[in-house]
Structures are given as structure tokens and as C-alpha cells.
Amino acid sequence: MASTTSLSGNRRSFAIIASGVVIIVSAFVLIGWTIGSHSLTQVLPGFPVMVPNTALSALALALALAWCSYTRGSNLSRIFAIAAGTFASLIGGLTIAHYLSGINFGLDQIFFPFAQTVVFETRPGRMSPHTALTLVAIGPAIAFLSRNKRAAHISEICTAFVIFMAWSAFLGYLFDAKLLRGLSNTNAMALPTAFSFLILSFGALAANPRSLIAGMLTNKSLGGVTMRRLLPVAVLAPTIIGFIEWYGIESSHFNIGFGIATSTLFLCAILVFIFSYFSLAIHRSDRKRRAIERDLEIKEEIYRNLVDYGMGLICSHDLSGKILSINPAALRILGYRQSDIVGRNLRSVVEPALRAEFDAYLREVTNKGIAGGLLRLMAHDGRAITFRYNNVLITDGRSPLYILGHAQDVSELLDVQEKLRQHSMTDALTGLYNRRGFLIMAEQQIKLEKRRGTTRGLTLLFADLDGLKSINDTFGHEAGNDAIVEFASIIRSCTRSADLGARWGGDEFVILLIGQTSATANTSIDRIRERIKLYNETSSKSYELAFSVGFADFDIESGRSLEEQIADADGKMYEDKRRRKQSRDDLVETHATVIKLGKQGLGSNVALSRNLN
């Protein structure tokens, strides 16, 4: 059914062709009046002629219909259609008034005063009452095209009346029924007039964007197919059978009773055939429809189960974020009821710190039509659940725009990934970063330091646990591991949380002091030494801890790599180790000298005191 104001190309083309046919017929008739040609104004000698007023009205109406159809109802074409319709209705109305009142308004020969040279009647050039009444009706049919819904319905009603009047005139000629075509043989609706009105009416129906009749005829539905097949039969079958009956009776081939009985029999047979044929067609179509509906129901059930029993989040929301629907699995994950969340804005469920990102997501999916990423939603119990989503903007044209979302709970996966990342970056024995983790985190810190206005200074410490081999050889590897763990714990306690500490390998450790230079790094080193001294004094272990350390300022502008500058600190650590080893060797030699002097009785206490100082 035509329920929109759009007009298909086929209907528009038909309206233009119909207008063209009427324009040609009217033009030929007007030329005939101009040159006084009977052949152009009459179909056959003795038949009524199409008078000038009728031809002019039909020409104006056809031009208006063609213009409206071609320009798709522009404002100027609508004005012309109103003017043409008003002109035709006015001509027809004044003619009817002339018949009823007997007052001559001078319309019959106003356009072609020489009409009597063609028609030799008492009222030369006057249209029949049937024609006048049809003009009164066809005027609004053309004038109200491409208007509002009520006007379009009035246009269709008037068009149907014009079709009825034109077809009745054809039947009047076919069955010699004079009253169906006019008052006399000459004062009647002419065949060109009836033909023009019929074609013009079909064109008006096609050009009416809200026409129920044209909409049904052009519809692909079962009703449209039935109407296209039945309508010609409903019009032509009774006409042909009626004509055969009339002709047989008029020519005395059979009597009235036989003619009526035969025509009734044939009509019944045709109606039964049509009824059976279309009943069978409707039956087949209904079976096919029910099979399609069952198939659709199965598919719909599959899709419904996919949504209802899917283990992810499936929801839809409008462009502002208002939730339109959500699947049961998502409700179970989030701990909400359907009534709690449908109609609520999804933004209110997003983790507060990420709501600005949610607004950015709405802009992205609205502009690009698709969006994906991670989103943290707050469950009913306050837990933050991370979802990985892939959402798309639905623009099917049958409903307002909305966004269809599908997401999976990846909280556990991200936790596992984070644990794996930490495991790959962390030393299993000490809990500090390993070499890989230190390099990754240090590179990130260096990038931050390179940004303008944020440079605070970086210092690299490279430490080595002294005597680890002796501890392993004397007390076992478990004691050696324990010494490494204790030393790592001291490093962690003596540095800030922002500093990066790592076990570089074996008994070697590296520390990146953030916001410190070599001038202040001694403070951290002294803190470590004090903690080791305290540990050695209070520990019940059989061994003592000692370490060597080297440090160097990290030069961001030098272009040297991180590992190259770590090697510098490592080199200084070995210098410290050599100094400490030399000091220990000197101390051992001093002790040996004291013991030797003591044996000689030369005042060992004084000598020992001097050497120790």
C-alpha cells in the first residue's frame, strides 16, 4: 500500500506517457476545430464530437499532470495543477449550471466562435452533461496531486468517479445505451473525450504518491498480485459476455431468455475458474509462507539462544548510551536484574575514572560506525570487570540508529597476562626485576626524563655481593641463596618505591636512582652500608654480608645506550672491589706484623695501634 510520499520510476513514467497521449488527442481535436476538419473531431460520421472547451480542459489537465510527474511535485508545478484543475472544474460547473437554469453564459463558442461550421446542431460546441460532470470531478483529481494525505485521498476518489463516468460512456457506445453517454447522438460524451478522461485518470492514479489503488496494483504482495490478475478479468469478462448477449439478441440469433441463461452460465464458469485458480494459488502461497515462517522461527530461536545463552555481554544502546537490551549472561556477570539496567545509561555503569574514555567511544562509534577496545564496568557488588568489546552502529533504515555491542569478560585473562608479564620481568629468587624487566622499565623512565621540563637526574648503582663463593663453599648453596635474598631485601628497604632495583645476574645488582645524581648517591650507599652493618651485628647467620658498589650519573644527552652506561657503573664497582680487597690484604699483613713483633717483645700494642690508624 502506498503510505509514503515517494513515487517509483515506473509509476512516474506511466503518468508522463498517459499525459502525452491525452496531449496528442487534445491537440489533434483543437487542430480539427481550427481547420474545420470532421475527421479530427469525430471518430466516425454521426458520432459526437469532442468540443473545444473539453479539448482545452483536457490539454491543460494533461500538461499539469505531466509537469507534476516530471518535476516530482515542485511548487510551480503544483500551482499550475491547481490552476488547470480549477479551469476544468469551472468550465464543467458553468456548463451544468447552463443545463439546469437555461442561462447562457457564452462558454460554448468563447474559444472557437466558428464551431457551427463543424457541428450543425441547435447548441453548437456545447459539451454534454456527462462530460461537464466529469470535468467537475477531474479538476480536483489533478489539482490535489502531490498535496497532503487528505487532499490525495480526495484526488483518488475523484479519479475513481471519472473512471466510472468514462467507462460508462464506452459501455453506452458498445451497447447503444444513449443515456449512459449523453442526451442525444450528438450531445453526448465523445469517444475521444471518454478515452482522454480514462487515460488521464489512470495517469492521475499513478502520479498520486498516496494512491491506495495504484499502491496496491504496483505492490509485490499477494494482494497486489491478486488485484493485477483479477481486475482485468472483472472488467473485461462481463463486458465481452454482455456484448455477445446483446449482439445475439439484437441480431435475432437467439431470444432474451437464452441470451441471459447463456451469459449467466459463462459468467458462473469464469467466476468458478477464477475462484478455483486463485484459491489454489493462495493455498500454495500460504503453504510456502508457513514454511518460510517456520524456517524463520527456527533461525530466530537459534539467534535468541545465541544471545540468551552466550557467555559474553551482548547489548544494544542508543547514540547517547541508553541501554535498550541486554542478554541474561551479562546480567549474571554484572549482578544486575533486567529492570535495573535496561533504560539506564551505560555511562553510569562504567568505572568513574574511565567515563571520559566512554564519551570518546560514543563519538568514535557514531562517526566511524565501528569501535573496539577495553572497557571496565562496575558490577552490582562494586567489582570492576574488564570487557573487550567490538561494537557496531546499526543503520538498517527500518528503525532509529542504535549500537549493537558484543564484549567478553577478559578480567582473568588480563590478570594472567599481567602475572606472566611480571614473571617474565621479575627475578624468582629475590622478587626484584630481572635483567629484562630492568631494561624495559628503565627505558620507559628514560623516555619520561627526556621530555622537556621533567628532567630530575638519574644515577646508576652497580653492586656486587662480596664473598658469595666462600659462603657457597663453606655453608652450601642454600646459604648462598639466602645471602642473595637478604641483600636484595636490604636494597629494597634502602631505596624509594620510585627507584628501580634489579638482580643483574648471579651476585650482581643494579639500581636506577631517580631524581638523584652522583653527588647525592652516597647517601643511598651509606644507608645500605649501615643496614648491612646492622644485619651483621644482629643476624644469627654463620656468615656476614659485604658488598662492593660503583655508581655513575646517567647521561641522557650522550646518545649512549643504557647497557653501555651500566658497564661504566660496573667498572667503578670493580675499582671499589679492588680497593676493598687491597684494604683487607693490608689489614691481614698488619696483623701478621703485629704477631711477629709481639713475639720479639717490642711493644705490640703500640705498633698495632699505629698500624690500625
Q: How far apart (Å, rounded) are the C-alpha atoms in residues 574 and 583?
A: 14
Q: Read off φ and ψ for residue 51, nearest 5 degrees.
A: -75, 160
First to last CA, the chain: 114
* Structure-derived torsion over alpha carbons of residues 297, 302, 303, 305, reported in degrees to the nearest 10: 120
Residue 143 has pLDDT above 80, yes or no: yes
Using a 10 angstrom Cβ sphere, with 0-12 exposed, 13-18 middle and 19 or more buried, the burial of residue 150 is exposed
Grid coordinates belonging to 238:
462481463
Which of 486, 463, 590 has its CA nearest to residue 540? Answer: 486
Q: Which residues pair with 510 in a beta bridge?
A: 462, 502
Rg (alpha carbons) of the chain, rounded to whole number: 52
Q: Is the pLDDT assigned to residue 352 strictly greater than 50?
A: yes
Let me know: does 542 contact 480? Beta carbons within 8 Å. no
Q: Which residues contact 362 (CB under 8 A, 6 or more apart)?
A: 319, 320, 321
pLDDT winner (highest mean) among 84-93, 270-279, 280-289, 404-413: 84-93
Highest mean predicted confidence (pLDDT) among 32-41, 128-137, 205-214, 401-410: 128-137
C-alpha 330/C-alpha 337 separation (Å) is 10
Q: State the Cα–Cα distance between residues 105 and 530, nearest whole angstrom.
A: 129
- Predicted confidence (pLDDT) at residue 308 exceeds the cutoff of 80: no
Convert the pLDDT of each residue in 374-423 to its tens digit.
888 888 888 888 888 888 988 876 678 888 888 888 777 777 777 777 77
- Summarised one tens digit per residue, pLDDT across range 112-127 is 665 544 444 434 467 8
pTM of the predicted model, to two decimals? 0.53
Q: What pLDDT, on the 0 to 100 scale, is given for residue 230?
A: 83
Tell me which H or E stretch contains 220: none
Task: Estimate to the nearest angstrom the gap between the alpha carbon of 280 and the chain centroid.
Answer: 42
Q: Residue 171, SS3?
A: helix
What band does 604 get if pLDDT is binned at 50, 70 and 90?
very low
Rounded-to-integer distance, Cα 215 and Cα 213, Å: 5
Strand partners, 463: 509, 549
The Cα 156–Cα 162 span in angstroms is 10
CA 156 to chain centre: 38
CB-based contact 64:85 (threshold 8 Å): yes
372 forms beta bridges with 390
H helices within 208-317, ranges in order? 212-217, 222-250, 256-309
Nearby residues of 404 by Cβ (< 8 Å), 6 or more positions away? 316, 391, 392, 394
Range in 178-187, 239-248, 351-360 the model is least confident about: 178-187
H or E segment at 480? helix 477-494
What strands lie across the sheet with 384-394, from one edge to the other?
323-326, 313-317, 402-409, 384-394, 370-378
Positive or negative CA dihedral for 89, 92, 94, 100? negative
Check residue 201 and give its pLDDT. Answer: 92
Please report which confidence band the pLDDT of residue 17 belongs to, taking 50, 70 and 90 as the band edges. Answer: very high
> Can you point out the beta strands (E) in 23-78?
none
The predicted pLDDT at position 609 comes to 45
Q: Which amino acid is at 471?
A: I
